[in-house]
């Protein structure tokens, strides 16, 4: 037991250290949780997507993607163009996404090709590439826009007509475009997607002459129709017309969803028991007692909302629903991708390039695909960030994107070789909590908030330096004869080798 505890503490030392720092700094700042928690959820909505975009390159063995800054540049180029052309609102935001995607794909392909030429030095190459790309970016915005490409817009261009202004106000264009999509619209889109997915799955199985579980399909369709029908009830429709969701309401809906889902699973288990199969595996593996435990836990969580201190915090936080749905969707996408053949190839390349190549995997192509994913997702994440901020610092918004995102990922317990959604989300919470309370703690302790600013900048650089130092320290000492084959090498080892 002592060894397990010591191993756990050593493995999670960074997370524990930052957790203690957050608790201490929050206490020293003398700020109530009703201030800290709402600000934290705002920062999570702004930054989570771009941090999650770092996971795929880490799994593929590309290390910490400092080249993620080029994805942010692609987003800002697209956002400037759509702002210049006058696109506004939700439509303008998605047009910007559509324009940023091919630009990010080109950038991601070039970065991937470069990383294939500098295998083993991707992180330093990505860092230098960011500075090089920033030079080209400034050339475009300071000279080409207005100097080579004629542009006449006094609100965007410098008075001379050559070069873009330092700050672009997005108030009348795409500010809060994603954040203000009503919950009713989200639910309607979700309903049509579920129905379309069921139809596609059924038609696909019929074409492939596979068995269709009609009862299970009908039950899913009925559940979707029932949920959609609820939106026509006056009070429900009025509640869903809002674009913000109180954290209290989110907890209550989450508890209710868990209860309804578990009840749905129990009913479906009873109805499809004789078929022996369900959506998530064999039906005989379904445990009713486990479902009942989840129902009890959901009830317990709901009961905690009646604690006055917790209640006051929950009603102080308003969540932009669509933004958090996008973050959740990216978490699901990262998990699903790792279950596909491409995801397994990425994991194999990350574990051992030589073995992956021997297994017939195109290592260079897989690494490029990983960079394409990361760069495109980073561009989308930057657009989510900018629409929430409401202004675009033309020459500075992208400069520290990679640094802060990587620092947040490392704070959550990730490493140069391994990262998960859990690491990213936990790191965002800890890193940005420290960012919120550090200046206030510095003011309370030393009478100068600038000290807190210096401290959090030190933290962001320090955690990256520590991770890279640990990586460099472990790398020369790796002894495969002692550690044994990797998981992928073990899988590739023929079972009949001993007999031969």
pLDDT for 498 equals: 37
For the ranges 211-215, 226-230, 322-326, the maximum mean pLDDT occurs at 322-326
Q: What is the mean pLDDT of residues 1-10?
A: 80
Residue 463 predicted with pLDDT over 80: no
Beta-bridged to residue 168, according to DSSP, are 392
pLDDT for 272 equals: 65
Question: Which percentage of the chain shows pLDDT scores above 90?
Answer: 49
Q: Could you tell me the CA-to-CA distances from 147 to 36, 140, 144, 220, 308 in Å, in that order?
A: 46, 9, 5, 58, 61
Asked if the structure places residue 75 within a domain, the reply is yes
pLDDT for 260 equals: 87
Q: What is the mean pLDDT of the chain?
A: 85
pLDDT for 489 equals: 44
- Which residues, other chains included, contact 272 with Cβ-Cβ below 8 Å and sequence gap of 6+? 213, 215, 216, 278, 283
Residue 346 predicted with pLDDT over 90: yes
Task: Report the sign of the C-alpha dihedral through residues 56, 60, 65, 69, in that order.
Answer: negative
Q: Percentage helix, strand, coil, to 5, in the chain?
A: 75, 5, 25
pLDDT for 65 equals: 87
Asked if the structure places residue 307 within a domain, the reply is no
pLDDT for 78 equals: 96
- Which residues, other chains included, contact 425 with Cβ-Cβ below 8 Å and sequence gap of 6+? 44, 48, 331, 412
pLDDT for 268 equals: 75
Residue 283 predicted with pLDDT over 60: no
**pLDDT tens column, 180-201:** 999 999 899 989 999 999 999 8
Q: What is the mean pLDDT of residues 55-65?
A: 91
Exposed, middle or buried: residue 4 (CB in 10 Å: 0-12, 13-18, 19+)?
exposed
- Looking at residue 163, the DSSP 8-state letter turns out to be S
Task: Report the sign of the C-alpha dihedral through residues 368, 373, 379, 381, in that order.
Answer: negative
How many domains are contained in the chain? 1
Residue 459 predicted with pLDDT over 90: no
**CATH number of the structural domain spanning residue 448:** 1.10.3470
Q: Which two tokens stand for residue 400?
A: 């520290």
**pLDDT tens column, 119-156:** 888 988 998 999 999 999 999 999 999 889 888 888 89
- Least trusted range by pLDDT, from 10-14, 158-162, 274-278, 305-309: 274-278
Strands 281-282 and 244-246, how do they pair?
unpaired
**pLDDT tens column, 152-165:** 888 899 988 899 99
Find the domain containing 106 and state its range: 15-176+319-478
Q: What is the mean pLDDT of residues 384-399?
A: 92
Task: Report the sign of the C-alpha dihedral through residues 381, 13, 466, 111, in that order.
Answer: negative
Q: pLDDT-based confidence at 281, cuts 50/70/90? A: very low
**CA gap 161, 175 in Å, rounded:** 25
Exposed, middle or buried: residue 153 (CB in 10 Å: 0-12, 13-18, 19+)?
middle
Task: Report the sign of the C-alpha dihedral through residues 280, 282, 283, 288, in that order.
Answer: negative
Asked if the structure places residue 341 within a domain, the reply is yes
pLDDT for 488 equals: 41
pLDDT for 475 equals: 54
**CA gap 427, 430 in Å, rounded:** 5
Q: What is the mean pLDDT of residues 383-407?
A: 90
Higher pLDDT, 461 or 382: 382
pLDDT for 279 equals: 44
Is the CB of residue 322 less than 8 Å from the CB of residue 186? Answer: yes
Beta strands (DSSP E) in 325-453 are: 391-393
Stretch (H or E) spanning 263? helix 247-271
Q: What is the mean pLDDT of residues 229-234?
A: 90
Stretch (H or E) spanning 246? strand 244-246
pLDDT for 486 equals: 45
Name the H helices within 30-88: 33-52, 55-59, 69-85
Q: What is the pTM of this model?
A: 0.86
Asked if the structure places residue 389 within a domain, the reply is yes
Residue 278 predicted with pLDDT over 50: no
Q: What is the mean pLDDT of residues 231-254?
A: 90
**CA gap 419, 113 in Å, rounded:** 23
Asked if the structure places residue 426 within a domain, the reply is yes
Asked if the structure places residue 375 within a domain, the reply is yes
Asked if the structure places residue 157 within a domain, the reply is yes
Beta-bridged to residue 459, according to DSSP, are none
Asked if the structure places residue 266 within a domain, the reply is no
**CA gap 73, 457 in Å, rounded:** 23
Q: Could you tell me the CA-to-CA distances from 46 to 14, 36, 319, 324, 410 in Å, in that order?
A: 23, 16, 11, 10, 18
Beta-bridged to residue 4, according to DSSP, are none
**pLDDT tens column, 72-110:** 999 999 999 999 999 999 999 999 999 999 999 999 999
Closest CA to 80 of 400, 401, 392: 392
pLDDT for 204 equals: 87
pLDDT for 291 equals: 85
Is the CB of residue 317 less than 8 Å from the CB of residue 36? Answer: no
pLDDT for 10 equals: 77
Can you spell out the DSSP letters for 432-467? HHHHHHHHHHHHHHHS-HHHHHHHHHHHHHHHHHHH
In degrees, rounded to 5, the angle at the alpha carbon of residue 95 between the alpha carbons of residues 94 and 99 is: 115
Task: Report the sign of the C-alpha dihedral through residues 2, 469, 368, 378, in that order.
Answer: positive
Q: Could you tell me the CA-to-CA distances from 465 to 231, 406, 412, 471, 472 in Å, in that order?
A: 51, 11, 15, 10, 10
């Amino acid at each position: 037991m002592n060894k397990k505890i010591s191993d756990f503490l050593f493995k999670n030392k960074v997370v524990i250290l930052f957790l203690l720092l957050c608790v201490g700094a929050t206490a020293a700042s003398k700020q109530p949780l009703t201030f800290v928690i709402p600000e934290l959820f705002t920062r999570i909505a702004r930054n989570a997507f771009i941090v999650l975009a770092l996971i795929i390159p880490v799994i593929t063995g590309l290390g910490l993607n400092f080249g993620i800054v080029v994805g942010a540049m692609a987003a800002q180029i697209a956002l400037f163009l759509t702002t210049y052309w006058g696109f506004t609102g939700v439509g303008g935001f998605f047009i910007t996404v559509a324009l940023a995607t091919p630009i990010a794909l080109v950038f991601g392909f070039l970065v991937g090709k470069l990383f294939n030429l500098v295998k083993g030095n991707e992180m330093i190459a990505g860092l230098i590439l960011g500075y090089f790309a920033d030079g080209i970016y400034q050339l475009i915005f300071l000279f080409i826009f207005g100097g080579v490409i004629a542009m006449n817009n006094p609100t965007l261009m410098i008075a001379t007509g050559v070069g873009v202004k330092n700050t672009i106000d997005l108030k009348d264009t795409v500010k809060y475009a994603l954040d203000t999509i009503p919950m009713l619209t989200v639910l309607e889109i979700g309903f049509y997607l579920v129905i379309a997915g069921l139809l596609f799955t059924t038609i696909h199985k019929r074409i492939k002459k596979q068995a269709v579980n009609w009862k299970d399909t009908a039950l899913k369709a009925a559940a979707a129709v029932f949920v959609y029908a609820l939106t026509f009830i006056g009070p429900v429709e009025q509640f869903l017309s809002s674009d913000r969701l109180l954290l209290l309401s989110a907890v209550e809906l989450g508890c209710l969803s868990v209860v309804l889902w578990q009840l749905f699973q129990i009913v479906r288990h009873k109805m499809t028991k004789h078929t022996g199969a369900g959506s998530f595996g064999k039906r005989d593996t379904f445990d009713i007692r486990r479902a009942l435990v989840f129902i009890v836990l959901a009830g317990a969580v709901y009961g905690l909302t009646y604690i006055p201190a917790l209640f006051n915090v929950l009603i102080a936080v308003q969540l932009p629903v669509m933004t958090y749905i996008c973050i959740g969707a990216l978490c699901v996408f990262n998990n699903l991708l790792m279950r596909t053949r491409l995801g397994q190839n990425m994991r194999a390349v990350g574990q051992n390039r030589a073995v992956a190549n021997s297994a017939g995997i195109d290592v260079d192509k897989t690494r490029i695909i990983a960079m394409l994913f990361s760069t495109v997702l980073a561009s989308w994440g930057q657009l989510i960030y900018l629409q929430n901020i409401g202004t675009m610092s033309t020459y500075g918004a992208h400069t520290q994107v990679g640094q802060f995102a990587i620092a947040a990922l490392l704070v959550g317990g990730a490493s140069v070789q391994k990262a998960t959604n859990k690491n990213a989300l936990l790191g965002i919470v800890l890193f940005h909590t420290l960012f919120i309370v550090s200046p206030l703690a510095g003011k309370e302790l030393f009478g100068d908030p600038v000290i807190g600013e210096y401290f959090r900048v030190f933290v962001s650089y320090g955690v990256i330096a520590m991770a890279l130092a640990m990586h460099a320290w472990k790398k020369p000492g790796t002894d495969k004869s002692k550690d044994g084959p990797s998981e992928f090498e073990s899988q590739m080892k023929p079972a009949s080798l001993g007999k031969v």
